[in-house]
Amino acid sequence: MKKFVPSDYKIHRHCFTGSYPVIEPLLKHFPNMFVGFTAVLTYSSAWEAQEALKKIPLERILVETDAPYFLPRRVPKRFCPYAHPGLAFHTVREIARIKDEPLFHVLATLRENTSRLYSL
């Protein structure tokens, strides 16, 4: 990617579930790269993604649902069998918890990030 994509391109790294060492070189090389996280963060098995989230600046993070996949952990499948955009708040809450940031600050920053990336 570094070889073919100009370093100033705006990039949305969709549905990141990996570890920080995977994303760190890309964040350094692409200053306009944003990393999207889903409700996979709500699962304890996603510890690598949770640790990566702690190290990535909030100003480089986006929230996603990746619907219909990644139903938030606390949402019973019998009530809601598939993820949808209305469940994104579960991920936002988890981001705030993991990063130990006030929810209102996380919401405002995520909105700002989305606007900046997509020129909204």
Q: Would you list the domain boundaries of the chain? A: 11-118
Q: Which residues contact 101 (CB under 8 A, 6 or more apart)?
A: 58, 95
44: left (phi over 0), alpha (psi -120 to 50) or beta: alpha
Q: What pLDDT score does 1 carry?
A: 83
Give the per-residue pLDDT at 20: 97
pLDDT digits (tens, 9 = 90+) for 33-87: 999 999 999 999 999 999 999 999 999 999 998 888 888 898 888 988 999 999 9
Band of the pLDDT at 21, cuts 50, 70, 90?
very high
Q: Report pLDDT for 75.
A: 87
Q: Which two tokens stand for residue 51?
A: 């640790």
Backbone dihedral region for residue 10 (phi beyond 0: left; psi -120 to 50: alpha; all else: beta) = beta
CATH topology for the 11-118 domain: TIM Barrel (3.20.20)
